[in-house]
């Protein structure tokens, strides 16, 4: 059994989790990420966190924090978090939750269903205070729009961009040759890019998260497996159970 991993980065966490179940993986990115030189935007978000008023820092992407920090002085964001007593933290899933704990958060709210709509529901019960969200160039606006509609002041700046790779991935030919049993899709952009390069893939489609699954379905493809929890550990467990069931 071999699973194709196509994220632009951070595939190693999925590979390690799947390896715990004896599942082989191959890494072949279909997307590329690059820094957006939005220094003013990065500083604007940092200044919002420096305010003495209550505010939220929300991570919706594991890349958002890294590329935001790249635009700041080393340790600058950590210092603001350490010195502030008015920042509340929220994350879209377990990976971004761990990033916030590493940054210095003591408590992190996590979306019940690990998607933007669920996270908006989680925050809707509180007072509409400023919200800081470092984002990518093709980030969905579900959370921003929902919170803005509830009266939150959303301060979101693009700090990285995502584009399809220029050269066709080697795995396109390998998929046609039956090398892979499944592909793991973790974002709507990954789903769109993968299916544009593999219009009728002969392998199982595994989706990390309901948002990705909806994107796959909108493209006329039915996911074979949906892991509502997109953490590497949860996906690996679901994949193992899925293929075990197929063998039986």
* pLDDT 10s digits, 81-107: 999 999 999 999 889 999 999 999 999
The HSE-up count of residue 246 (CA atoms within 13 Å, CB side) is 12
137-151, 166-180, 230-244: range with lowest mean pLDDT? 137-151
Over the stretch 38-68, which tens digit does the pLDDT of each residue have?
999 999 999 999 999 999 999 999 899 999 9
The HSE-up count of residue 162 (CA atoms within 13 Å, CB side) is 22
CA 194 to chain centre: 16
Q: What was the pLDDT predicted at 139?
A: 81
- CA–CA separation, 186 vs 170, rounded Å? 19
Q: Which domains does the chain possess?
A: 2-30+165-247 (3.40.50.10090), 34-162 (3.40.50.10090)
Using alpha carbons, select from 128, 123, 129 the residue that is nearest to residue 87: 129
Residue linked to tokens 């952009």: 189
19 backbone dihedrals φ, ψ, rounded to 5°: -65, -30
User: Model-level pTM?
Assistant: 0.89
Q: Which residues pair with 227 in a beta bridge?
A: 208
Over the stretch 176-212, which tens digit does the pLDDT of each residue have?
999 999 999 999 999 999 999 999 999 999 999 999 9
Q: Which residues contact 157 (CB under 8 A, 6 or more apart)?
A: 38, 41, 42, 44, 45, 68, 134, 135
């Amino acid at each position: 059994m071999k699973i194709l991993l196509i994220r632009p980065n951070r595939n190693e966490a999925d590979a390690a989790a799947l390896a715990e179940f004896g599942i082989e993986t191959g890494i072949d990115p279909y997307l590329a990420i690059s820094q957006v030189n939005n220094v003013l935007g990065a500083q604007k978000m940092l200044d919002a966190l420096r305010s003495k008023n209550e505010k939220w820092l929300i991570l919706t992407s594991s890349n958002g924090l890294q590329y935001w920090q790249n635009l700041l002085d080393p340790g600058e964001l950590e210092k603001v978090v350490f010195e502030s007593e008015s920042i509340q933290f929220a994350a879209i899933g377990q990976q971004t939750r761990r990033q916030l704990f590493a940054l210095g958060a003591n408590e992190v709210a996590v979306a019940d269903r690990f998607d933007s709509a669920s996270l908006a529901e989680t925050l809707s019960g509180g007072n509409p205070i400023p919200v800081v969200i470092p984002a990518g160039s093709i980030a969905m606006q579900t959370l921003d729009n929902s919170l803005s509609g509830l009266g939150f002041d959303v301060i979101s700046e693009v700090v990285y961009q995502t584009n399809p790779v220029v050269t066709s991935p080697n795995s396109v030919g390998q998929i046609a040759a039956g090398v892979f049993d499944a592909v793991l899709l973790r974002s709507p952009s990954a789903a769109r890019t993968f299916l544009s390069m593999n219009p009728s893939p002969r392998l199982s489609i595994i989706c990390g998260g309901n948002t990705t699954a909806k994107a796959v379905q909108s493209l006329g493809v039915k996911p074979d497996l949906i892991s509502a929890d997109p953490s590497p550990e949860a996906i690996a467990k679901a994949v193992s159970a899925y293929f075990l069931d197929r063998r039986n």
